[in-house]
Amino acid sequence: MKIPEYMGSLAFGLKMGVILPGMDIVEEVIKALSCLNRDELLGDNDVVCITESVVARAQNNYITIDDITREIKEKLKLSAESKLAVVFPIVSRNRFSMILKGLARAVPRGKVIVQLSYPADEVGNRVIASDFVESLGKETITLADLGEYKFEHPVTGVDYINLYRDIIEEEGAQSDILLSNNPVKVLDYDPDGVIAADIHTRACTKLAITGHFKNCITLDQICTEGEAYSEWGLLGSNMSSGEKLKLAPREGDKVVKRLQSKVKQEFGLDVQVMIFGDGAYLDPTSGIYELADPRAAFAATEGLNCVREGFKYKYLADQCYHEEHKTAAEIEAFLSDSAKREMSQNCMEREGTTPRQMEDVVASLADLVSGSADAGTPVVVIKGFLG
């Protein structure tokens, strides 16, 4: 379908049946796209976006809590009596509670020390109220400092400090939870091994810790090989059924390239393809930054490896009208011509149009369109976005 001149970009979800382990995700997406092609709704320069969850499920990319336990014990050389420190995990039942269970299971007669950042984790989930922190006047806050104080997450209603303590103790280990924004503070607790459990700041956190203590790894160094694995390790994993976790997709680059080639072969069309995760969206109401995956796009074809930029049309329109007294028709002609001209990045015409990575913008759009609840649209098609 060629978008009419009077329309801009379009993005819509594509409904598919349930995707199960062992299915060929490329063939399943081709079946869905064939309906679009039949109805002349698929065209050159479209972007086909697939949510990471169905790709990983088709790959049967699942691990168990015991898999995490075995690997942690081996990589950090832990015994049942060891002390394991976990620094800056996000507070999330879906993203981290199962991982924490596997970590605690590695030291059933030892201790797990969890250091949380405050007042929120790195993606904006509140851990403690800012005014309470100020009333304490301390850089490091312990459970003793909290006393009877409890803080429930404003969205989920969960008290994550107590939840994480309970998870640890259910596995037989002792727990110690502290709040501090200094990553090396946990070393005061004399751990035998440390996991830098943050997502986007993990390299800096690990660097700070290993400057004083070498036995430290990050979540993306766990579950990177075997029958089920991901290049991202445990980053991007989600709670599944029972004691299973679904990892992020593996070898996503191969998947997107194969689908791109298959679309060309089947329909004669040149499209771009992406596997998307969380969109890079900061919710202005809750303050939560939705990007709990290591990146917005787990894989994308080459045509999305670019920067999206443009001209400040409203500035140009105002300039033409107020300063140059152009008519509406003259302004339209000028705007059309401006889109074809080369301009420097710091010119006024580009003022306020911050260049952004195309794959981040597209992934965020796809995530918002697809949703994470019951929309049943794991594939999103975007038209008119690449020109």
Tokens read off for 43: 């065209």
| β-sheet bridge partners, residue 47 | 272, 382
Tokens read off for 136: 């304490």
267 C-beta neighbours (distance < 10 Å), count: 18
Q: 17 pLDDT exceeds 60?
A: yes
C-alpha to C-alpha distance for 150 and 58, rounded to whole angstroms: 41
**Which H or E run includes 50?**
strand 47-51
C-alpha to C-alpha distance for 121 and 119, rounded to whole angstroms: 7
- Pair 195, 221: CB distance under 8 Å: no
Percent of the chain scoring above 70 in pLDDT: 86
- Pairwise pLDDT comparison (10 vs 196), residue with the higher score: 196
C-alpha to C-alpha distance for 299 and 301, rounded to whole angstroms: 7
* Average pLDDT value for residue range 87-108: 96
C-alpha to C-alpha distance for 96 and 43, rounded to whole angstroms: 40
- Pair 26, 379: CB distance under 8 Å: no
C-alpha to C-alpha distance for 327 and 349, rounded to whole angstroms: 19
Q: Considering just the CA atoms, what is the radius of gyration of the chain in Å?
A: 24
- Pairwise pLDDT comparison (18 vs 89), residue with the higher score: 89
pLDDT computed for residue 292 by the predictor: 93
Tokens 């976990």 sit on residue: 86
pLDDT computed for residue 263 by the predictor: 98
Sorted by sequence, the CB contacts under 8 Å of residue 374 that are 6+ apart come out as none
C-alpha to C-alpha distance for 150 and 361, rounded to whole angstroms: 38
Q: What is the chain's mean pLDDT, rounded?
A: 89
C-alpha to C-alpha distance for 288 and 286, rounded to whole angstroms: 5
pLDDT, tens digit, 9 for 90 and up, residues 337-361: 655 444 444 444 444 446 678 899 9
Percent of the chain scoring above 90 in pLDDT: 71
- Pair 230, 61: CB distance under 8 Å: yes
* Average pLDDT value for residue range 81-95: 96
Least trusted range by pLDDT, from 107-111, 164-168, 284-288, 360-364: 284-288
Separation in Å, CA 248 to CA 234, 237, 274: 8, 5, 14
Q: Where are the domains of the chain?
A: 10-61+248-307+356-383, 63-226, 313-350
Q: 63 pLDDT exceeds 90?
A: yes
63-226: CATH class: alpha beta
- Provide the edge-to-edge strand list for the sheet that holds 379-383: 10-14, 379-383, 47-51, 272-276, 297-300
- End-to-end, the C-alpha distance of the chain in Å comes to 14
pLDDT tier for residue 306 given thresholds of 50, 70 and 90: confident
pLDDT computed for residue 296 by the predictor: 94
pLDDT computed for residue 255 by the predictor: 98
pLDDT computed for residue 347 by the predictor: 40
CATH of the domain spanning 10-61+248-307+356-383, picked from 3.30.1330.100, 3.40.190.10, 1.10.645.10, 3.40.630.10: 3.30.1330.100
C-alpha to C-alpha distance for 237 and 199, rounded to whole angstroms: 11
pLDDT, tens digit, 9 for 90 and up, residues 37-58: 999 999 999 999 999 999 999 9
